Amino acid sequence: MNIKAPILRITDEEILDLNAYDTFIENIKFTNEAYPPFHVKNYTFNGVIFDRIIFNLAKFSNCTFIDCLFDSCDLSNLKLDHTLFQRVQFNECKLLATSFSEASFKDVSFLNSKTKYLNFTKTKFNLVLFKQTNLQEAYFIEPNIQKLEFDHCDLNKAEFSQANLKGVDLSDSIIDGVNFDYQSLRGLIIDANQASMLVGLLGVKVKD
């Protein structure tokens, strides 16, 4: 999958104090130093690097992230619903129970990240890669999938409901205990061992 990388032209490095900025922020690297709490709404982040930041004091509402890099950040429990991500990379991040309900992803990569309990309800996926990422118990409910790839991921006990997974290859990922509805199984690519495990979802019994 040919995913476009973020275009970054950093000109400044600052502490993450968004109270000091207008609603359009560009070409800045935010560092992991202590920052004041903030709640921003309708902000656009363009060409921004977030470096080793723990977002426990942050709230984002209806924001846009274009050409951004989250490097070794902790975004656990954030609600990033209705958010646009375009040419964004999450590298070695922690996103436990983060919500991306009705968010939109285009040219987005999740690399070597811990993303258990993610909420992808009615999320749009266009050119999205999950690589070596823990997606245990993640929820993909009524997603709009155009191009989506999983590369050596752990999907143990994840749930796919009303998902168009035609052509999506899970053969090198862990899918133990995954809950698929019938619609989500159509066109899915798996290996022979995974197939024998999934036949139970179809009510089929395998006789030795």
Domain ranges of the chain: 12-201
CA atoms of 108 and 87, how far apart (whole Å): 5
pLDDT for 68 equals 99
CATH 2.160.20.80 fits 12-201, yes or no: yes
Contact between 2 and 43 under an 8 Å Cβ cutoff? The reply is: no
Which residues of the chain carry a pLDDT beneath 50? none
Supply the pLDDT for residue 71: 98
Contact assessment for residue 174 and residue 153, using Cβ atoms and an 8 Å cutoff: yes
Tens digit of each residue's pLDDT (9 = 90 or more) over 132-166: 999 999 999 999 999 999 999 999 999 999 999 99
